Amino acid sequence: MEKIVRPSSMERITNFGLANKFIDEQVDLIRKQVGDKKVLLALSGGVDSSVVAALLIKAIGKQLVCVHVNHGLMRKGESEQVIEVFGEALDANLVYVDATDRFLDLLKDVSDPEKKRKIIGNEFIKVFDEESAKLDGISFLAQGTIYPDILESDGVKAHHNVGGLPEDMEMSLVEPLALLYKDEVRVVGEALGLPHAMVYRQPFPGPGLGVRCLGAITRDRLHALREADAILREEFDNCGLSEKVWQYFIAVPDFKSVGVRDSKRYEGWPAIIRAVNTTDAMTATIEEIPYAVLHKITNRITAEVEGINRVLLDLTPKPVGTIEWE
Ligand code: XMP
C-alpha cells in the first residue's frame, strides 16, 4: 500500500478557523468516498476514535455505525460518557456492547502481563467481529489513524491499541485524520463540539485498567482500583494538575498489608499513585505533587474505597521504571 505523506505545504491546524476549514474539506471527501454506503467504527472513547466519530457523524450521520465495546477495564464513567456524548447528544447510530463478563472470566487467574494483554486484544477483536457480523451492508471501516501512527508503523494501529482489528476484514478504510498530529486532532475535536475533557484526556492504554490491576485480576480489586483512580482524577482536576501532568493513575498490586480501621484489624491493598511527564513516552520524569494534595488523596482513598488501606507514591522515572507497572 502506498505510504501516506503529509505535504510540506500543509499548515499546522492551531485554531478553530483552520480546524473548520479542515472539517469542511473532510466532510466533502468523506461524502464522495462513502456515497450512500455504511461505515463501521470501533469507538473506544479515546481522543482519535472520538474525533473520527464526530467528523463522520457530521458528514454522513446515521450511515456511520459506531460499536463501543466495554471490556470491563474502562475507567470510571468512560463508557457512560461515550453513550452520553455519541448515543444521546450527537444521536449517533451506536451499538453498545457490555462484554465485561467475557473479559473478566477469561482473565480469571491469569497473572502474566503479556498473557493478559493478549487475551484482552484477542477478545476485543472477537467481540468486534461478532458485532460487525450482525450488521448488514457495511462497506467501509473507519479508523482513528493519525500521522504519528503512519510515521511509526504501517498506518494500522494493530499492536499497541486494543482497537487493532482483524486483517481479513474486507472493507475499504476511511481515515480522515491520517495527516494530523495529535495537537491538531484535539483542535478539530473541539471545533466539532466534543467536550474539552474528552479531547484533552490523558493517554490510556488499550488494555485499560487490566495492566494496573496487577497480577491476576479480581472483580473486587478492580472495583477498588477504579474508585481510587476516579478520586485521583477528581483531585487532580480540583487543583489544576490534570491540565499539567501528562499521565497519572493508580495501580493496585495483588497483596495486602495489615492496617486498622474502626479499632479493628483491617487488611487491605495499597493504592500506588503514578504521575509522570514526558513528550514521547520513551522517557518520563516525575511530577512533584504538593503534599497537601497527596494528603487529601490519601485521606479520601483510604476512607472511601473499600479494600484499600494504604496509599503509596511511585517516585521512579523512566528509565528505570516503565510508565505502566505491567
Ligand atoms: P510504558 O509502560 O511502556 O508506557 O512506559 C508507555 C506509554 O504507552 C502506554 N501503554 C500502552 N498503550 N497498549 C496501549 O495502547 C498497551 O498495551 C500499553 N502499554 C503501555 C502507557 O500508558 C504509556 O502512555
C-beta of 323 in contact with ligand 1 (< 6 A) = yes
C-beta of 212 in contact with ligand 1 (< 6 A) = no
C-beta of 117 in contact with ligand 1 (< 6 A) = yes
End-to-end CA separation in angstroms for the chain: 34
Average pLDDT over residues 171-182: 96
Q: What are the cell numbers at 314?
A: 511511585
Q: What is the pLDDT of residue 164?
A: 52
Q: What is the pLDDT of residue 64?
A: 98
pLDDT tens-digit readout, 186-228? 999 999 999 999 999 999 999 999 999 999 999 999 999 999 9
Calculate the alpha carbon distances from 2 to 5, 23, 177, 243 in Å.
9, 24, 17, 38
Q: What is the pLDDT of residue 4?
A: 87
Q: Give yes or no for residue 15 having a pLDDT over 80.
A: yes
State which amino acid sits at residue 148.
Answer: P
C-beta of 44 in contact with ligand 1 (< 6 A) = no
* CA 37 distance to own-chain centroid: 28
Q: What is the pLDDT of residue 2?
A: 72
Q: What is the pLDDT of residue 154?
A: 55
Q: Give yes or no for residue 54 having a pLDDT over 60.
A: yes
Instruction: Please give the Cα distance from 75 to 223 (Å, whole number).
Output: 10
Residue carrying C-alpha cell 495527516? 179
Average pLDDT over residues 34-49: 97
The pLDDT confidence band at residue 167, using thresholds 50, 70 and 90, is low
- Concatenating the DSSP letter of every residue in 146-213 gives -HHHHHHSSS---SS-TT---TT---EEE-TTTT--HHHHHHHHHHTT--HHHHTPPP--TTGGGGTB
Omega of the bond prior to 319 within 30 degrees of 0, cis?
yes
Instruction: Please give the Cα distance from 210 to 195 (Å, whole number).
Output: 26
C-beta of 145 in contact with ligand 1 (< 6 A) = no
Q: What is the pLDDT of residue 155?
A: 41
- Class for the domain spanning 16-199: alpha beta
Q: How far is the CA of 219 from the centre of ligand 1 (A)?
A: 22
Instruction: Please give the Cα distance from 313 to 121 (Å, whole number).
Output: 30
Q: Give yes or no for residue 8 having a pLDDT over 60.
A: yes
Q: How far is the CA of 207 from the centre of ligand 1 (A)?
A: 9
pLDDT tens-digit readout, 93-140? 999 999 999 999 999 999 999 999 999 999 999 999 999 999 999 999
Of all atoms in ligand 1, which is nearest to the CA of residue 247?
24
Residue carrying C-alpha cell 456511520? 64
Q: What is the pLDDT of residue 156?
A: 42
pTM score: 0.93
Q: How far is the CA of 11 from the centre of ligand 1 (A)?
A: 30
* Element housing 264 (H / E): strand 264-265
pLDDT tens-digit readout, 252-309? 999 999 999 999 999 999 999 999 999 999 999 999 999 999 999 999 999 999 999 9
Residue nearest to atom 9 of ligand 1 (CA): 205
pLDDT tens-digit readout, 152-161? 875 444 444 4
- Class for the domain spanning 212-313: alpha beta
Average pLDDT over residues 54-79: 98
Q: What are the cell numbers at 263?
A: 479499632
pLDDT mean across residues, the chain? 94
State which amino acid sits at residue 161.
Answer: N
State which amino acid sits at residue 254.
Answer: D
Q: Give yes or no for residue 168 having a pLDDT over 90.
A: no
Q: How far is the CA of 205 from the centre of ligand 1 (A)?
A: 5
Residue nearest to atom 14 of ligand 1 (CA): 205
Of all atoms in ligand 1, which is nearest to the CA of residue 321?
5
* DSSP H helical ranges for 61-181: 78-82, 100-107, 113-133, 147-152
Domain boundaries, the chain: 16-199, 212-313
Of all atoms in ligand 1, which is nearest to the CA of residue 318?
5
Can you tell me whether residue 53 is helix, strand or coil? Answer: helix
C-beta of 76 in contact with ligand 1 (< 6 A) = no
Q: What are the cell numbers at 173?
A: 478504510
The percent of residues in the chain predicted with pLDDT above 70, rounded, is 95
Residue carrying C-alpha cell 457495511? 138
* Least confident among 5-9, 229-233, 246-250: 5-9
C-beta of 247 in contact with ligand 1 (< 6 A) = yes
Residue nearest to atom 10 of ligand 1 (CA): 205
Helices 182-191, 47-60: axis angle to 10 degrees equals 40
Residues in the chain: 326
The pLDDT confidence band at residue 169, using thresholds 50, 70 and 90, is low
42: how many CB neighbours lie within 10 A of its CB?
27
